[in-house]
Amino acid sequence: MLEKDIENLIAKYPDEFFPSSGFKLIGQQIRLGKCFADIIFEDKFNRKVIVEVKRGILSRDASGQVTEYYGLLKNEQPDGFVELVLCANIIPAERKKFLETIGIECKELGINSINIIAEKYNYQFIDAKQKNKTIEPELIALIPEAERVWIFQANPNRYDVLNALSDDAIGPNMHWTVNQHINEIAKGHLALIWLSGAEGGIYALTEITSNPQLLNVTNDEDKYWVDTSYNNKERLRVKMRVLKNIVNKPIYRNELKATIGLENISIFRQSQGTNFPLTNEEWRIIKDKYFNHKT
């Protein structure tokens, strides 16, 4: 799903996201000065509500953007009441606390909840209509069992993997940090990209295309580091190629835990870290149940 998809769903079905608010749509991409507000509603108290939508992790600069919209709208309608709402897939707790302290409502919209609403109204995501740039789903069945399969974890407080996996400028070729199992991870192995936190689960299947070595990420990847201590830093990493991107339909932690044979995979036993091994049997179950049939 694209940022535009989330915007469209909120605009069309506001009661699903803001129950009892009585939102009536004024418009999407409303010009305010030289800027464009994602959505403007009018609520049941006749107040204008500016809703700014961000895919992935809510960035630090989002508050400055929405407050600028506030000022521009107040200039146009000085006697009107204006409320501000920021929506994102993931909103760090400390950021939410600060924003709500200064009067900006924060709405965290998990991918699962968005999918449920999209399915309810038969909404088709924009990127689902476009040609899949990764390996076609039927070819997944032809991928042989790798010598080793790993889980590579992304912490949303450090790296915005949702946007990185959706960025055409990055495409299927990515880099990933190696902090554990340095002497075991190797070219030709497979890795499952895992997002930690409330939306925890598998978001992509990749093939590791280099041994661990000191590498920089590309500029396109670098911008998604929330933890700026990693920006433009050479670190021990591998190169990898995305074989199957399932960011729109991830395999969630709870679903995996409920699958016989996957209850005790390594990331469930100890979730701290970046790189986790899977057994051959665990990978066989995941591949057969999820990737051979998942579209």
Give the C-alpha separation, 227 to 234, whole Å: 15
Residue 150 · residue 276 · CB < 8 Å = yes
Residue 25 · residue 39 · CB < 8 Å = yes
User: Based on the domain organization, do 160 and 194 belong to the same domain?
Assistant: yes
pLDDT tens digits along 25-52: 999 999 888 889 899 999 999 999 999 9
Residue at which a domain ends, from 126, 156, 176: 126
Residue at which a domain ends, from 77, 107, 126: 126
User: Based on the domain organization, do 264 and 179 belong to the same domain?
Assistant: yes
Strands (DSSP E) along the chain, which ranges?
24-32, 35-42, 48-57, 82-90, 104-108, 149-154, 173-177, 190-195, 201-208, 213-215, 235-245, 251-252, 275-278
User: Based on the domain organization, do 209 and 243 belong to the same domain?
Assistant: yes
Full domain range(s) for residue 212: 133-291
pLDDT tens digits along 152-182: 999 988 899 998 998 889 989 999 999 999 9
User: Based on the domain organization, do 53 and 153 belong to the same domain?
Assistant: no
Residue at which a domain ends, from 111, 126, 141: 126
- The enclosing domain of 242 has a CATH number of 3.10.590.10
Instruction: Output the pTM of the full model.
Output: 0.80
Q: Give which of 82, 118, 85 is closest to 8, Cα–Cα.
A: 118
Q: Is 245 exposed, middle or buried (0-12, 13-18, 19+ CB in 10 A)?
A: buried
**What is the phi/psi pair of residue 228, to 5°?**
-70, -10
The confidence band for 102, taking pLDDT boundaries of 50, 70 and 90, is confident
Torsion sign, CA atoms 143, 144, 146, 150: positive
Per-residue pLDDT at 128:
67
What's the total number of domains in the chain? Answer: 2
User: Based on the domain organization, do 214 and 79 belong to the same domain?
Assistant: no
Mean predicted confidence (pLDDT) in 100-128: 89
pLDDT tens digits along 214-257: 999 999 999 888 877 776 788 999 999 999 999 888 999 999 99
User: Based on the domain organization, do 113 and 44 belong to the same domain?
Assistant: yes
* DSSP 8-state class, residue 11: H
User: Based on the domain organization, do 103 and 229 belong to the same domain?
Assistant: no
Q: Is the pLDDT of residue 129 over 80?
A: no
User: Based on the domain organization, do 162 and 253 belong to the same domain?
Assistant: yes
Mean pLDDT (the chain) is: 88
Give the C-alpha separation, 104 to 113, whole Å: 22
User: Based on the domain organization, do 284 and 138 belong to the same domain?
Assistant: yes
Mean predicted confidence (pLDDT) in 96-106: 89
Highest mean pLDDT of the ranges 18-22, 44-48, 137-141, 188-192: 188-192
Tell me the one-letter amino acid at 30.
I
Mean predicted confidence (pLDDT) in 139-148: 63
User: Based on the domain organization, do 98 and 162 belong to the same domain?
Assistant: no
- The enclosing domain of 108 has a CATH number of 3.40.1350.10
Mean predicted confidence (pLDDT) in 73-86: 86
Instruction: Give the strands of the sheet with 48-57, arranged side by side.
Output: 24-32, 35-42, 48-57, 82-90, 104-108
User: Based on the domain organization, do 43 and 167 belong to the same domain?
Assistant: no
Tell me the one-letter amino acid at 121.
Y
Residue 153 · residue 270 · CB < 8 Å = no
User: Based on the domain organization, do 157 and 252 belong to the same domain?
Assistant: yes
